[in-house]
Structure 1
């Protein structure tokens, strides 16, 4: 199981710092630029490993879900709300949420984590979120 130290299966799962593979049906959730260029960080990984498509800045593609993070916290918040709704509508899938907005976009965990506070149980969050 990803993100759970051996022997601690009763602990809540957390998204590991480096997601390198997914179970079938799982989804890698990453931060995207406005144009969906996906040239660096988790976005590049999403293209290379999880089916993200360049030019698509939001939503599900392959086994990845893009959340736009570079247009301000208001835009990120609205996208987070849409993602939370999407995840709730797809309880059969597990969504591995990365620290969207806390890398290239420059937001703090304290700014972004509350945007996902209402995410359903099938959304695995980064540690501390």
Structure 2
């Protein structure tokens, strides 16, 4: 299979529906209280489980972003990238996790996804790619 250029792996800014085998990746809190932002959409439309703040659930994947500084998010992003690499049949559409209610900027969060450059089924927001470069 031909390698996909990173800039062709841009997640849509607004996701309202998923195609078969697509997973909605959103920022959550550790308690899994999916009350606002992308977490609320994940709960309402994509099978996120109330009370589950981490991992694959339904057609979504939760990455906790509300528990501290950027470095507290890193282990969850590492875990996510490993899972995505192990499931090449799925396409993971990453939202601007941590850049809404959690209050981080794309410049703070995007570097956490540097290893995702090598995982063909992870699609990142355009602003993350802008920061990471192609």
Q: For 1:115, which of 99, 108, 112 is the aligned residue?
A: 112
Q: Which runs of 5+ in 1 are unaligned?
A: 1-10
1:23-62 matched pairs, under 5 angstroms: 23-62=19-58
Q: Distance in 1 between matches of 2:88 and 2:18?
A: 16
Q: Distance in 1 between matches of 2:35 and 2:101?
A: 11
Deviation at 1:13, TM superposition (A): 3.3
Moved over 3 A (4+): none
Q: What number of residue pairs does the alignment pair up?
A: 119
When normalised by structure 1's length, the TM-score is: 0.89
Cα RMSD, aligned residues only: 1.0
Q: Taking CA–CA contacts closer than 8 Å with sequence separation of 6 or more, which of the two structures ends up with the larger relative contact order?
A: 2
1:1-129 matched pairs, under 5 angstroms: 12-72=8-68, 73-119=70-116, 120-129=119-128
Name the structure where helix makes up a greater proportion of residues: 2
Q: Which whole-Å deviations, capped at 9, do the CAs of 1:13-70 have from their partners, x for residues lacking one?
A: 3112210011111100000012110001100000111000010000000000000000
Q: Which whole-Å deviations, capped at 9, do the CAs of 1:59-97 have from their partners, x for residues lacking one?
A: 000000000000121221110000011100111100000
Q: Distance in 2 between matches of 1:70 and 1:83?
A: 16
